[in-house]
Amino acid sequence: MTDVSAQPFPLLAKVRSKTGLVPAQSGLRSLRARWLIGILCVTLILVMFGSLATGPIGISVADFLISYASHIAGGGTGRPDAVSLRDWIVLSQIRLPRILLGALVGASLAVSGAVMQGLFRNPLADPGIVGVSSGAGLGAVGMIVLGGTILAPVVAFFGIYALPLAAFGGGLTTTWLLYRIGTSSGVTSVATLLLAGIALGALAGAFTGILVYMADDQQLRDLTFWGLGSLAGATWTKILSAGPIIGLTLIFMRLFADGLNGLMLGEAAAGHIGIRIQRLKNICIVMVAASTGASVAVSGGIGFVGIVVPHLLRLVIGPDHRYLLPASALLGASLLIVTDAISRTIVAPAELPIGILTALLGAPFFLWLLLKKRGMMGM
């Protein structure tokens, strides 16, 4: 057994050689992955600017940015004189927080899906499909409905972090139960994983229904729209509450890319090359639960991003998590920003919940993937 005392995952060349994941300078696929990540970075910037200019109110983003940059360079603060109050409010208080929150949530869901698929070694794993999002939603709904009564001390103590922490607790509990049910003797059954996810999601949905029944009229209106997934309520406060949690989990999950690569060999072989299997699983489960919980707390139920994005990227750059995770973050952020822009313009002046659009995109893809993998499930 390789000594693992010096560093968490002493893999590097050993894992990459055994899994066929060669160093970037000698692999065509790695070079392609680097190019793709660069392209995705540019795409994300363009998508953000395009979404900033999209809406029922026509605003020249270029003129706004030039005026604001000149204003800041001159030592001014607040709104520049050249920008109208309407444009300032729309861009700085409505569209910009919504775009940034969409980028955070999209990156979180996509990377969480990629990590779960690597952890369970199956492309069908996804926080929304296997019930993790439902568990996180239960925690968030519980905090929303009961935050003014029996959970008031919790809200007073944690402040703006009470909601994402409640969602994290619900997501963590669901993820842990899912892992315990779906894994036996170190082997994860795909069929058991999916069925357990359906059961846990249904159970979480039942308890969520009870809480919704207890909600007052204002809470009920908020929960109905929130349950379908939406970025309509994006504020700087929500970004400050969920952003640090999502950002830290994204960074930490990237650090375990080599460990996830090693799991591609199987748990027994991965253990022989120095991976602390149980430690890796525990950390990844906590990270996925925290990231998904924070996302669900601020955006509601947005499904299928975590299964569509990583699978599409694997077709292009392969399974190397060193590139798959950052590429998933970038593509997931871009996808959710574009989807949100469509949701707020397609039926303007009304707004279509974003979860409906992601389901229309992701459900057929999931069915195709399920049929493709049915031989592995003994169907």
Residues 6+ apart with CB under 8 A from 105: 231, 246, 295, 298, 299, 302, 336
Token digits of residue 135: 């568990």
Q: Are the beta carbons of 361 and 304 closer than 8 angstroms?
A: yes
pLDDT tens digits, 230-252: 888 888 998 998 899 999 999 99
pLDDT of residue 375: 53
Distance CA 199, CA 193 (A): 10
Neighbours of 191 (CB within 10 A): 14
pLDDT of residue 5: 35
DSSP state of 262: H
What's the per-residue H, E or C state across 169-185? HHHHHHHHHHHHHHEEC
DSSP state of 122: -
pLDDT level of residue 326 (50, 70, 90 thresholds)? very high
Residues 6+ apart with CB under 8 A from 227: 137, 208, 300, 301
Burial string for 277-314 (b: 16+ CB within 10 Å, else e) reads: eeebbebbbbbbbbbbbbbbbbbbbbbbbbbbbbbebb
Lowest mean pLDDT among 14-18, 54-58, 145-149, 150-154: 14-18
Q: What percent of the chain has pLDDT over 90?
A: 21
Is pLDDT of 17 > 70? no
pLDDT of residue 187: 66
Token digits of residue 320: 């190397």
Q: Are the beta carbons of 229 and 361 closer than 8 angstroms?
A: no
pLDDT of residue 1: 39
The residue-averaged pLDDT of 264-287 equals 82
Token digits of residue 163: 């909601």
Highest mean pLDDT (candidates 96-100, 181-185, 341-345): 96-100
Residues 6+ apart with CB under 8 A from 12: 258
The residue-averaged pLDDT of 185-195 equals 71
Give the ranges where 9-79 is alpha helix by DSSP (H).
13-19, 28-52, 61-73
Burial string for 7-32 (b: 16+ CB within 10 Å, else e) reads: ebbbbeebbbebbebeeeeebebbee
Q: Select from 333, 330, 260 the least CA-distant residue to 34.
A: 330
Distance CA 18, CA 20 (A): 6
Domains of the chain in sequence order: 13-54+99-372 (1.10.3470.10)
pLDDT of residue 251: 92
DSSP state of 59: -
Give the burial class of 378: count Cβ atoms within 10 A of its Cβ; 0-12 exposed, 13-18 middle, 19 or more buried.
Answer: exposed
The residue-averaged pLDDT of 280-300 equals 87
Q: What percent of the chain has pLDDT over 70?
A: 87
Neighbours of 232 (CB within 10 A): 16
pLDDT of residue 106: 95
Count Cα neighbours of 121 within 13 Å in the Cβ-side half-sphere.
Answer: 17
What is the pLDDT of the chain when averaged over all its residues? 82
Give the ranges where the chain is alpha helix by DSSP (H).
13-19, 28-52, 61-73, 85-89, 96-120, 132-146, 152-158, 162-182, 190-214, 217-227, 236-255, 257-263, 267-272, 277-299, 305-317, 321-343, 354-372
Distance CA 171, CA 163 (A): 12
* Residue predicted with more confidence, 270 or 379: 270
Q: Are the beta carbons of 296 and 306 closer than 8 angstroms?
A: no
Distance CA 132, CA 204 (A): 9
The residue-averaged pLDDT of 49-63 equals 80
Is pLDDT of 327 > 90? yes
